[in-house]
């Protein structure tokens, strides 16, 4: 399987015949996650689901950023501890993942559970001359000591679309792009705290460590976590494009400098943005649709269909119309599956499912092209529709199984709805009326069925009832 590697700018083969280690940047837990975040997490959930379906073992690790300026700010605004904010939104994040059927992550690792690993890595960077101290500010990474800084994003300065709200501003830095590894407390730490290992002062959570009291910078948690679980080198690192610079660039600089081994990661996979209007959907701009608000209007299947119908690297311009169209597409597949359930014919199968399977796999093996894979399913539906009078029950059964299984990889359910007895009886009475050519009366019953949220479709194979 080939995947586009941001580092090389080319599609590259995934390592074969061995388990893969995947790390994806997890959420900063200070607010409800939005459907932009979900775009990235569902894309990777689909990717892992596909790899596992091909028999490839994937160890999928995600961090949880539970110490950060934004969490501290939120805690102060709500007069609660930052840990309470982080705990609350971490729980909400997992609930939202469940609602969206995301279940492929093997291990979630909180930044605050890895303070010793973070300190160890910073100490190595200090020893090797990559980090320096600024009194009253913290320890910083000196980007001039890492000659390859910029190799992932092909630049060393920020641009408008970066996750820049977390750029470290310090005025005494050696280089403008230097970033914080360890941040000293903003307020004085009273003597009574010195025997303690953790304190919250003026809303800021701080740890007592060999580097002094303080808290980690944003980038260091990821490499401390991945080194602990995967070692200094691993296979795939994911996140959305906003994280390429400076976040992922910083990760490379930290880990490759600390271990002396490169590359940190074989393949860097970046998802495109989910846009809202012309802009990237983001929590900090306040312009976002939370996962919860989306799910009040539409189903998880609709969200997952939207994601699968876009290439993971392409932007998605989110509008309600997109969700409505996705719903219609899912319904059209359900309609097709309901219709072919009426096929009774025996005889030689007419449809070559293996041909579709080959195209489906080829599409996904080529940089995980999910829209192309979805189009293969529609090609199969089109062929079956064209041959609807000649296909056999065997064709119908295998097409139904195949389509449900393939959409199941993207966790889009196309289960045929259970039709209540009352509706089935109305449909049966309508049929009798039609057989007796009492069309006016049968039309009245059709309207009644529609008013109850169902619709009747008279296909060449017979009548089907669907949810409207």
- Asked if residue 319 lies in contact with residue 291, where contact means CB atoms within 8 angstroms, the answer is no
DSSP state of 244: I
Q: Which of 6, 49, 153, 282 binds ligand AMP (CB under 6 A)?
A: 282
Number of residues near ligand AMP (by CB under 6 A): 17
What is the spatial distance between Cα 94 and Cα 102, in angstroms, rounded to a whole number? Answer: 9
Alpha-carbon distance 289 to 293, whole Å?
6
Rounded CA-CA distance 395/72 in Å is 59
Q: Does 97 bind ligand AMP (CB under 6 A)?
A: no
Residues shown for the chain = 468
Q: Which residue is nearest to ligand AMP (CB)?
A: 36
DSSP conformational letter for 248: I
Report, in Å, the least distance between residue 433 CB and ligand AMP: 53
**DSSP-assigned letters across all residues of 399-439:** HHHHHHHHHHHTT---PPPPPPHHHHHHHHHHHHHHHTT-H
Q: Are 194 and 178 in contact (CB under 8 A)?
A: no
Q: Which stretch binds ligand AMP (CB under 6 A): 261-269, 279-287, 362-370, 404-412?
A: 279-287
Closest CB to ligand AMP among residues 309, 442: 309
| Beta carbon of residue 19, minimum distance to ligand AMP (angstroms, whole number) | 23
Smallest distance from the beta carbon of 368 to ligand AMP, in angstroms? 16
Of 96, 142, 162, 242, the one binding ligand AMP (CB under 6 A) is 242
- Spatial distance between the Cα atoms of 277 and 318, rounded to a whole number of angstroms: 7
C-beta of 61 vs 456, nearer to ligand AMP: 61
CA distances to 131, 142, 388 from 180, rounded to whole Å, are: 9, 9, 65
Q: Got the DSSP string for 269-325?
A: EEEPPEEETTEEP-TTTS---BHHHHHHHS-HHHHHHHHHTS-TTS-EEE-HHHHHH
- Out of 58, 85, 225, 240, which residue is the one contacting ligand AMP (CB under 6 A)? 240
Nearer to ligand AMP, 155 or 431 (CB): 155
With CB under 6 A as the contact rule, the residue among 130, 183, 280, 310 that binds ligand AMP is: 280
Half-sphere exposure (Cβ direction) of 254: Cα atoms closer than 13 Å: 31
Strand 274-276 vs strand 316-318: parallel, antiparallel, or unpaired? parallel
Least Å from the CB of residue 32 to ligand AMP: 10
Least Å distance, CB 269 to ligand AMP, is: 11
Per the CB < 8 A criterion, the answer to whether 16 and 215 are in contact is no
46 is a contact residue toward ligand AMP (CB under 6 A): no
* 216 lies in the binding site for ligand AMP (CB under 6 A): no
Task: Considering the complex, state which of residue 25 and residue 265 has its C-beta at the smaller distance from ligand AMP.
Answer: 25
Candidate residues 3, 25, 180, 340; the one interacting with ligand AMP per rule CB under 6 A = 25
Contact between 268 and 247 (Cβ < 8 Å): no
Of 34-42, 334-342, 365-373, 416-424, the segment contacting ligand AMP by CB under 6 A is 34-42
| Nearest to 22, CA basis, from 62, 56, 63 | 62
- In the list 40, 63, 363, 442, the residue contacting ligand AMP (rule: CB under 6 A) is 40
Q: How far is the CB of 243 from ligand AMP (least distance, A)?
A: 5
Residue 146 CB, nearest distance to ligand AMP (Å)? Answer: 23
CB 331 within 8 A of CB 380: no
Among 109, 111, 220, 274, which residue interacts with ligand AMP (rule: CB under 6 A)?
274
- Cβ closer to ligand AMP: 28 or 309? 28
Residue 180 to residue 278: CA distance in whole angstroms: 32
For residue 70, the minimal CB distance to ligand AMP (Å) is: 9
**Segment 120 to 139, residues that bind ligand AMP, using CB under 6 A:** none
Query: According to the binding rule CB under 6 A, does residue 150 interact with ligand AMP?
Result: no
Q: Which residues bind ligand AMP (CB under 6 A)?
A: 25, 27-28, 36-37, 39-40, 239-240, 242-243, 271, 273-274, 280-282
């Amino acid at each position: 399987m080939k995947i586009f590697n941001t580092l090389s700018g080319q599609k590259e083969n995934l390592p074969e015949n061995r388990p893969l280690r995947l790390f994806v940047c997890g959420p900063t837990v200070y607010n409800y996650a939005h459907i932009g975040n979900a775009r990235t997490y569902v894309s990777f959930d689909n990717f892992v689901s596909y790899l596992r379906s091909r028999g490839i073992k994937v160890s999928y690790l995600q961090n949880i950023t539970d110490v950060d300026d934004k969490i501290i700010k939120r805690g102060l605004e709500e007069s609660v501890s930052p840990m309470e904010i982080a705990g609350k939104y971490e729980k909400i994040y997992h609930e939202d993942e469940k609602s969206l059927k995301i279940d492929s992550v093997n291990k979630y690792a909180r930044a605050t559970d890895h303070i010793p690993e973070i300190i160890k890595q910073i100490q190595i960077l200090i020893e090797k001359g990559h980090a320096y101290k600024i009194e009253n500010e913290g320890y910083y990474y000196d980007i001039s000591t890492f000659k390859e800084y910029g190799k992932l994003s092909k630049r060393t300065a920020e641009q408008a679309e970066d996750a820049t709200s977390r750029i470290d501003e310090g005025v005494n830095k050696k280089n403008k792009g230097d970033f914080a590894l360890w941040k000293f407390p903003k307020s004085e730490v009273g003597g009574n705290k010195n025997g303690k290992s953790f304190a919250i002062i003026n809303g800021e959570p701080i740890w007592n460590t060999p580097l002094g009291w303080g808290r980690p910078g944003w980038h260091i948690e990821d490499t401390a976590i991945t080194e602990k679980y995967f070692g200094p080198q691993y296979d795939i690192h994911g996140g959305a494009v906003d994280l390429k610079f400076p976040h992922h660039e910083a990760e490379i600089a930290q880990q490759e400098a600390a271990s002396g081994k490169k590359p940190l990661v074989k393949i860097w996979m970046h998802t495109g943005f989910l846009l809202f209007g012309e802009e990237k959907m983001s929590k900090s701009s306040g312009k976002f649709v939370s996962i919860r608000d989306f799910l009040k209007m539409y189903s998880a299947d609709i969200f997952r269909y939207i994601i699968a119908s876009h290439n993971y690297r392409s932007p998605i311009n989110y509008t309600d119309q997109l969700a409505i169209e996705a719903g219609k597409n899912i319904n059209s597949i359900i309609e097709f599956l309901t219709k072919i359930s009426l096929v009774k014919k025996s005889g030689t199968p007419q449809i070559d499912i293996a041909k579709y399977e080959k195209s489906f796999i080829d599409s996904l093996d080529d940089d995980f092209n999910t829209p192309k894979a979805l189009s293969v399913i529609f090609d199969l539906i089109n062929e079956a529709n064209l041959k609807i009078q000649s296909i056999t029950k065997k064709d119908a059964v295998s097409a139904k199984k195949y389509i449900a299984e393939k959409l199941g990889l993207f966790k889009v359910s196309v289960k045929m709805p259970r039709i209540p007895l009352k509706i089935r009886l109305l449909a049966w009475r309508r049929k009798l009326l039609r057989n007796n050519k009492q069309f006016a009366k049968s039309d009245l019953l059709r309207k009644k069925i529609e008013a109850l949220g169902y619709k009747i479709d008279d296909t060449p194979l017979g009548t089907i009832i669907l949810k409207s």
